[in-house]
Amino acid sequence: MLRIRNLESGYGKIKVLKHVSMHVDPGEIVTIIGANGAGKTTLLATIAGLVKARAGEILFRGQNLPALSAEKIPALGCVMVPEGRQVFATMSVEENLILGAHVLQKKGRQVQEELLEHQYALFPVLRERKGQLAGTLSGGEQQMLAMGRALMARPQLVMMDEPSTGLAPLIVKEIFQIIVRLRDEGNTVLLVEQNAKAALAIADRGYVLETGKVILQGPAADLLTNQDVQRAYLGREKIEEQ
Amino acid sequence: MTTELFIQYLFAGITYGSIYAIVAIGFNIIYNTTGIINFAQGEFVMLGGMIAISLLPFMPLPLAIGLSVLMTMVIGALIEIVFIRWLHSPSVLRMIIITIGISILTREAAVHIWGDNIRALPYFVGDEITTIGVLGARISPQVLWVVGVCGVMVFVLHLFFKTTSVGREMRACAANRTAAILCGINPRNMVTFSFVLSAGIGALAGCVMSPITYTQYDVGTGLAIKGFTVAILGGLGNSGGAVAAGLMLGIIEAFSVSVVPLAFQDAIAIAILLGILFVRPHGIFGSGEAARLKAF
């Protein structure tokens, strides 16, 4: 579904990603883990077109994404749930969701209603809050809204950037359960996480990113028990603490 | 002051106030989608009046106004496409200089096309001496046209932003540009739309006010300053605040005539602007919080 070859990307003079290659197959949860500054967010932002790729290719269902401008990518079925939620704070919850279905606008109101209903079933709290301004929601609710908004586009691939950031452990658990449910319903998820343990626990496969390079990859279960991975994602200090 | 005189001043104030409010809303629409102040906003008002006056010999008044508004909208789109669209994350200062440049350019073009004569559209109903009585005062029916048309515009704009999908997308771009892109919305198109919309409402205001206030190649500058004052007063980006602030400034100006000489009228607006910038830079009606949230 998604195939990345020798991707290079960065900001200004700083090259963040170096020869990154990876792939995501339909129906799996793939997680990208790594320390702060490893380039995880840059990788997602480059796939989503927010950051321009310098070299290499990103093929999504046969289309080379870097050739397209960022706003064209969601229509192909590749949507991103950005880091830090990024909901439309001054707009209502329902308006946020409807905007998520922007790429399906031509399909009419019926489709939009069905999708809304589907998100409300997945996130009941959003139904309760549908008239409320998104900026007034709690962090966990905003994360659910951002996820619901992305799912409104009926995507083939959902990319999530650090969904657990700043959330209470209980909420994180709930969010991760929803991600598993999405996969079980046939969605494909590319999950970037700092919380590597939690991410590997639900993922099918994983990639470990370190200073812009993929240093390890494999089935999530193998990565979880790998000594190098524990060092890469927990950091030496933490291991010593244990 | 007699009741009649009071009402006379009040209506004069509301008339000018409505126009200031429309100019301020024009500022707000563009500010909300781009974060810049379009100092060429007043020029849209001038163009609306001027084009309608030029078209009038060839067609009936409503058609001339409609066509003039459309043409100004096209000019608004062209200005955005030619001068703004291709800039990649320009600094605010650069954008301000560019819009001031556009304003000068438009004004100079207008002087070449229309000369520096003072012109006016005919009164929509009756003529300059037709009046209707309101609580003992005599006011021109055109005043009601101005207030009515501006009121309808504010209402229609409100509906547009609340209920149409384009309006919703423009608000989305204002609220969070990155998230809008991630929803597949093209923010550059929304910026073009905002220029078209601002040009349209400015031009329509320019047409309805023309019989009372007259139109000349340089009316835009004064209106832009007043409109900017009102936009700041109402809280930048807040269109409800702009209406209240517009009416307030209009009424203060109108009543000031009874206290200070007419020549000081413009000084009052500037004094208010300076006062606000010193004391409450986020405006009387805007809270600092709201200014950061930027809502239409």
Please report how many Cα atoms fall inside a 13 Å half-sphere around the Cα of residue A24, on the Cβ side. 30
> Do A99 and B174 make contact, defined as CB atoms within 8 angstroms?
no
Q: Is A129 helix (H, G, I), strand (E, B) or coil?
A: coil
**Cβ(A49)–Cβ(A128) below 8 Å:** no
Q: Is B127 helix (H, G, I), strand (E, B) or coil?
A: coil
Q: What is the percent of chain B with per-residue pLDDT over 90, rounded to a whole number?
A: 52
Report residue A228: phi and psi, to 5°.
-60, -40
Q: What is the percent of chain A with per-residue pLDDT over 70, rounded to a whole number?
A: 95
Chain mean pLDDT for chain B: 88
Q: What pLDDT, on a 0 to 100 scale, did the predictor assign at position B286?
A: 62
Residue A239, pLDDT above cutoff 70: no
pTM to 2 decimal places: 0.86
**Cβ(B19)–Cβ(B146) below 8 Å:** yes
Q: What pLDDT, on a 0 to 100 scale, did the predictor assign at position A237?
A: 46
What is the tens place of the pLDDT at every residue in A76-85? 999 999 988 8
User: How many distinct structural domains can be found in chain B?
Assistant: 1
Taking each helix axis from N to C end, the angle separating B239-256 and B265-279, rounded to the nearest 10 degrees, works out to: 140
Residue B128, pLDDT above cutoff 80: no
Q: Which band of pLDDT confidence, cut at 50, 70 and 90, is reported for residue A232?
A: low
A28 exposure class (CB count in 10 Å sphere: 0-12, 13-18, 19+):
middle
Q: Which residues of A touch B187 (CB under 8 A)?
A: 71
Cβ of residue A48 closer than 8 Å to a chain B Cβ: yes
Sign of torsion, CA B233 B235 B237 B242?
Answer: negative
How many helices and strands, by DSSP H and E, does chain A display?
Answer: 10, 10
Integer Cα distance of A212 and A72 in angstroms = 26
Q: What CATH number is given to the structural domain containing B232?
A: 1.10.3470
> Do B184 and A71 make contact, defined as CB atoms within 8 angstroms?
yes
Q: Domain range for residue B252? A: 3-293
Q: What pLDDT, on a 0 to 100 scale, did the predictor assign at position A25?
A: 95
What is the tens place of the pLDDT at every residue in A50-59? 999 999 999 9
Cβ of residue A88 closer than 8 Å to a chain B Cβ: yes
Report residue B78: phi and psi, to 5°.
-65, -45
Residue B43, pLDDT above cutoff 70: yes
What is the tens place of the pLDDT at every residue in B230-251? 998 888 888 888 999 999 999 9
A60 DSSP β-pair partners: A2, A63
Amino acid type, B216: Q
Q: What pLDDT, on a 0 to 100 scale, did the predictor assign at position B281?
A: 73
Nearest to A163 by CA among A149, A135, A154, A153: A149
Residue A203, pLDDT above cutoff 50: yes
Q: What pLDDT, on a 0 to 100 scale, did the predictor assign at position B87?
A: 82
Integer Cα distance of A59 and A204 in angstroms = 21
B202: its two tokens: 């400015």
How many helices and strands, by DSSP H and E, does chain B display?
Answer: 12, 2
Residue A242, pLDDT above cutoff 50: no
Integer Cα distance of B247 and B252 in angstroms = 8
> Do B183 and A91 make contact, defined as CB atoms within 8 angstroms?
no
A164: closest CA of chain B, how far (Å): 18
Q: What pLDDT, on a 0 to 100 scale, did the predictor assign at position B291?
A: 47
Integer Cα distance of A55 and A157 in angstroms = 23
Q: What pLDDT, on a 0 to 100 scale, did the predictor assign at position A226?
A: 85
Q: What pLDDT, on a 0 to 100 scale, did the predictor assign at position B294?
A: 45
Nearest to A191 by CA among A83, A68, A118: A83
Report, as an integer, the average pLDDT of A73-97.
93
Integer Cα distance of A147 and A119 in angstroms = 9
Specify the higher pLDDT residue, B267 or A117: A117
Q: Which residues of A touch B172 (CB under 8 A)?
A: 88, 91, 99
**Cβ(B67)–Cβ(B178) below 8 Å:** no
Specify the higher pLDDT residue, B292 or B50: B50
Q: Which residues contact A21 (CB under 8 A, 6 or more apart)?
A: A4, A5, A6, A7, A56, A214
What is the maximum alpha-carbon separation in chain B? 61
**Cβ(A81)–Cβ(A190) below 8 Å:** no
What is the tens place of the pLDDT at every residue in A97-134? 999 999 998 888 899 999 999 999 999 999 999 999 99
Integer Cα distance of A33 and B10 in angstroms = 67
Q: Which band of pLDDT confidence, cut at 50, 70 and 90, is reported for residue A236?
A: very low
Report, as an integer, the average pLDDT of B119-126.
89
Q: Which residues of A touch B295 (CB under 8 A)?
A: 90
Cβ of residue A17 closer than 8 Å to a chain B Cβ: no
Q: What pLDDT, on a 0 to 100 scale, did the predictor assign at position B145?
A: 92
Q: What is the percent of chain A with per-residue pLDDT over 90, rounded to a whole number?
A: 74
> Do A73 and B184 make contact, defined as CB atoms within 8 angstroms?
yes
Between the two ends of chain B, the Cα-to-Cα distance in Å is: 39
A181-216: b or e for each residue (b if 16 or more CB lie within 10 Å)?
A: ebbeeebbbbbbbbbbebbbebbbbbbbbbebebeb
Sign of torsion, CA A81 A82 A83 A85?
Answer: negative
Nearest to B35 by CA among B173, B201, B240: B173
Report, as an integer, the average pLDDT of B175-200.
93
Residue B5, pLDDT above cutoff 80: yes
Chain mean pLDDT for chain A: 90
Domains of chain A: 1-77+157-242 (3.40.50.300), 86-154 (no CATH)
Q: What pLDDT, on a 0 to 100 scale, did the predictor assign at position A65?
A: 94
Q: Which residues of A touch B235 (CB under 8 A)?
A: none
Cα dist from A182 to A11, A26, A155, A207, whole Å: 33, 12, 11, 20
> Do B183 and A87 make contact, defined as CB atoms within 8 angstroms?
no
Cβ of residue A115 closer than 8 Å to a chain B Cβ: no
Report, as an integer, the average pLDDT of A8-34.
92
Integer Cα distance of B177 and B187 in angstroms = 7
What is the tens place of the pLDDT at every residue in A135-182? 999 999 999 999 999 999 999 999 999 999 889 999 999 999 999 999
> Do B176 and A88 make contact, defined as CB atoms within 8 angstroms?
yes
Q: Which residues of B touch A88 (CB under 8 A)?
A: 171-172, 175-176, 179-180
Specify the higher pLDDT residue, B280 or A108: A108
What is the tens place of the pLDDT at every residue in B85-116? 888 777 878 888 999 999 999 999 999 999 98
> Do B176 and A87 make contact, defined as CB atoms within 8 angstroms?
yes
> Do B176 and A89 make contact, defined as CB atoms within 8 angstroms?
yes
A146-170: b or e for each residue (b if 16 or more CB lie within 10 Å)?
A: bbbbbbbbbbbbbbbbbbbeebeee
